[in-house]
Every structure is written in C-alpha cells, then in structure tokens.
C-alpha cells in the first residue's frame, strides 16, 4: 500500500517513487527464497504509520523537517484560519495580520513539524 499520500493530510513525501526505487534495487533478492529469513520492508509518507513501519524489519519514513512557509496572499483563499490555528497540537500557529491581509504566523520554537497545518 503506497498511496496514502493521495488521501493523507500529513504526508512528508510521495512513497510511490521511493517504493519503486527500493524494489528495483532489491528485486533480485526476492525472486527466490535465498534470504536467511523473511524480511519486511515498509515505506511511510509520515509519522502516522499507515505504512506499518512499526512492525517492519527495515523502515523508510518521510519526516517533515522545516517549519511551513506561509504565502500570506493565498492563505486566506485556501484555508479557514481558525481551523488552521486549531489544527496545531503545540499552539505554534497564531492568527496574524500581514500587510493588511488576514493570515497566520508560525512560532519556530513550538513547531514539531507534524504537517497538520
């Protein structure tokens, strides 16, 4: 299952490309039963683990590593600001007025890179 990024609201990557690269590289090891034991490899787009990385021998996990960048001109047309603010589990997002446009700001120190926003 590698299509979580299509419906997931927190993906850090598209797992499909990563799965293809890994399988292209490892396919010869899985054509016959020559490995010493069963091997489970998982790829997950985010920390929520729909890719079952917690029960795999090898896990490749996409992780958000930077604070989200805000486009203050398009944000009010794409997001409900109260919903965006309330989606943050650490209260790192606050409403803000930027150049006369209602927007949000992110407190870098509080952001845990979850991707909920």
Residues of the chain with CATH 3.30.70.20: 66-117
Beta bridge partners of 104: 95
pTM, full prediction? 0.64
Number of neighbours of residue 86 by Cβ within 10 angstroms: 12
Average pLDDT score, the chain: 85
Compute the half-sphere exposure of residue 35: CA atoms within 13 Å on the CB side of its CA.
Answer: 11
Tell me the pLDDT tens digit for each residue of 3-57. Answer: 565 677 778 887 788 889 999 998 988 888 888 888 888 888 887 767 677 788 8
Identify the CATH class of 66-117: alpha beta
| 79 Ramachandran zone, left/alpha/beta (phi>0; psi -120 to 50) | beta
Residue by residue, DSSP assigns 67-86 as PPPP-TTTHHHH--HHHHHH
């Amino acid at each position: 299952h590698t299509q979580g990024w299509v419906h997931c609201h927190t993906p850090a990557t598209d797992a499909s490309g990563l799965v293809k690269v890994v399988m292209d590289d490892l396919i010869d090891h899985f054509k016959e039963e020559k490995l010493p034991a069963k091997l489970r490899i998982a790829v997950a787009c985010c920390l929520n683990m729909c890719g079952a990385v917690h029960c795999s021998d090898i896990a490749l996990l996409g992780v958000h590593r930077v604070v989200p960048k805000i486009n203050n001109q398009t944000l009010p047309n794409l997001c409900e600001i109260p919903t965006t603010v309330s989606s943050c589990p650490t209260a790192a997002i606050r409403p803000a007025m930027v150049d006369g446009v209602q927007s949000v700001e992110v407190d870098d120190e509080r952001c845990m890179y979850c991707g909920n926003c």
